[in-house]
Amino acid sequence: MIQYNRLEKTFTLTTEKTMYQMQIGPAGHLLHLYYGPVTDGCFDYLQLPRDCGFSPNPYELQEGRGWSLDTQAQEYSTAGTGDFRLASLETESAQGIPGADLRYVSHEIRPGKYQLEGMPSAFAGEETVQTLSVVLADAATGIQAELLYGVFPHRNVITRAVRIHNRGTASVRLNRAASACLDLPFGDWQLVHFHGRHTMERQPERISLMNGVQTVSSSRGASSHQHNPFVILCQPDAADRFGTCYGMMLVYSGNHRTDVEVDQAGATRAVMGISDSNFSWTLEPGEAFETPEVLLTFTQEGLDDLSHLYHRFIQHNVCRSRYALERRPVLLNSWEAAYMDFDAEKLLRIARDAKSLGVELFVIDDGWFGNRDDDFRGLGDWFVNEKKFPKGLKSLLDSIHGLGMKTGLWLEPEMISEDSELYRRHPDWALTVPGRKPTIGRSQLVLDLTREDVLEWLYETFAGLIRENPIDYIKWDMNRHLTDLYSHSLPAGRQGEVTHRYVLGLYALLERLTQEFPDVLFEGCSGGGGRFDAGMLAYHPQIWCSDNTDPIARLSIQEGTSYGYPIPAVGSHVSASPNHQTGRRTPLGTRGVAAMAGTFGYELDPAQLTEEEREEVRQQIRQYHTWQDLIREGDYYRIQSANAVRPYTAWQFVSQDKEEVLLSVVLAGVTSNPRPLHLQLKGLDPKARYQIASADFYGCKAELPHAPDRVFTGGELMHGGYTLPILLGDYPSAQIYWKKVTG
């Protein structure tokens, strides 16, 4: 898997389908040679010497003038040493020495996967994994950069991270410390990234690279609704089923930055890591700094294959919860059913109604604690509201358990209200700037998770809550981003460390709680999908995908999420109609189809349903249980994205053994005299024979255009395609389920 050729001074990292190669250059710099399909050879011939003018040379190589860091593909670029392109590392020593001239010192190949201290990273699981450690050093400052590579041969993933050591005698300040640099010296590339906003997260956008720098970043203290820490570089002709694609995904939940530059020679460089916005870090002699991990993958088989690689890797090698590979209960969350206007009797009534429909988990959302009757007060006072629960929280949870249901609770541990007992006791526990009125988001401030006393209080508070109450599920929310980046416990010279220390504190708290309570199902949330990233998925096997529960709006949100993140991680529910966010009216069946592209549940009051709708909900839950393993374990394919010509979205699940196929279609708009709704399925066994086991149409009257016992070959369905009947009405939808015919 990892080989070092002493003669050629090359490192070759090999998975089942990919090869990554680098070389120690003539002056000791670590050069990137190749990342692509497995093949033989040494690719150092691609490092062409050329004098571009105004590209300076290392002192040892000045005579030829054709060798410059400004023109060579590198593994970890630095500022101030002759490369004017994107830097991975920017430093300044206490003596004022800028930059670090990193040269090869040593390397080690060892079994197993490296781990990072205080941050989530991929683990080997049942895989045989190797680690490559390459140490580069700067003689002037004593800075050492230990480049870490984890090779997962069966997953076709290579992980990267960096440990930066101060081996000198004076302090060094890091102004930028990226996790990975990927240089592609040749080729035309397009960038796929995932932008958005609150209630419209992870909208895919594909753009051609310009000559210059394009940036995807967040400086909000979270991975954010606006820009996800995941990008794809692909060839212009790459599509779902074919074409060259590189993926870069950051395992981190805070400020992030990905820069992509096309340089003067047409080479492309992508640098990914912590954002340098509001960031600096002081390393004293003997100290080290670790960067978050990046998950790299490569495929020549298109965007579908790239998605499948990430889906499997996150489920099996990133998410550590026991629920990562287990069935999840169908839940009903009280938020859109009651908001904060409830008491124990009302919640128990909703739970009884939900139980009668087949719901397995009842979640009490915001409003159960302190004086929390609205979102102006109460955060931080995590004791039960006795007015709403005169017999206590445990009494209600016990009653719900007595119905044969699991119980869940909403928490927002990272926030504090000014109107709270906690803030009155500890105003210095909030992130606020001395002498300045703080900015307020959703009427709340942010607790300072850089402080050990705050973390200890949070741990004791929530560990005690879980120990004292029968809680099976926690929804962990974060409803504002970070401002006023000042910690009252850090010295002036360390204030640039606040945002990263905050994330480290969050991870430390999650580590303690998830390890102590492994049987509790944790779901992440940040105003919906504002912190949907691989770092949070290490602790939360599912994340509430968006606060927007409108099924039509959800189609693009869930589709964008699917490019990198596994379907079982996508929290998705059926909500009331008209929808609370958009006012749109949609059929109950269509809401169910959209919600089955994720973990399945409900956001509504069952008492508001008609008896016909109640029976439809029961059928939805029975159907979901039938297909749950297929949805959770099967390969997910994007079949059609809605556009002006084809105003429908279609997706498909295929079981690993290719025995089962589930096709879902939702129309965002209908027209008179519509064009045929024709789809080409994916991922089937071309020689196998498939027969429709069930076909359900919602919001319309439709029948199959052929005999229900008609048998199709996989090749017919993939290459000839399948034509659905005409679907008319308000947001109609369809689910068609095939099973392989044996004999």
Q: Which amino acid is at 442?
A: R
d(CA 332, CA 574): 9
Nearest to 132, CA basis, from 155, 158, 154, 157: 158
Q: Are 604 and 574 in contact (CB under 8 A)?
A: yes
* β partners of residue 10: 5, 23
Crossing angle, helix 452-468 and helix 498-516, to 10 degrees?
30
Q: Nearest 5°: CA angle at 549, between 543 and 553?
A: 105
Question: Considering 343, 419, 421, 613, which one is annotated as catalytic?
Answer: 613
Q: Residue 727: exposed, middle, or buried by beta-carbon count in 10 A (0-12, 13-18, 19+)?
A: buried
Q: Which residues contact 244 (CB under 8 A, 6 or more apart)?
A: 36, 234, 235, 238, 298, 299, 300
d(CA 531, CA 223): 5
In sequence order, what DSSP letters do the residues of 366-411 get, joined into one string? S-SBTT-SSTTS-TT--SB-TTT-TT-HHHHHHHHHHTT-EEEEEE
E strands, 291-383, in order: 293-299, 331-333, 361-364
Q: Are 274 and 228 in contact (CB under 8 A)?
A: no
613 is catalytic: yes
Alpha helices in 358-483 (DSSP H): 393-402, 421-425, 452-468
To the nearest 10°, report the CA torsion of 713, 716, 719, 723: -130
460 is catalytic: no
Q: Are 90 and 76 in contact (CB under 8 A)?
A: no
Q: Are 20 and 3 in contact (CB under 8 A)?
A: no
CA 326 to chain centre: 19
How many other CB atoms are there within 10 angstroms of residue 715's CB atom?
Answer: 13
Q: Which residue has the tokens 């592609």?
A: 184
Q: Which residues contact 455 (CB under 8 A, 6 or more apart)?
A: 449, 505, 508, 509
Question: 179 to each of 220, 250, 275, how far by Cα in Å?
Answer: 19, 8, 11
CA 482 to chain centre: 19
d(CA 201, CA 215): 18
d(CA 500, CA 273): 12
d(CA 26, CA 9): 10
Question: Considering 70, 146, 497, 533, which one is annotated as catalytic?
Answer: 533
| Active site (catalytic) residues | 533, 613
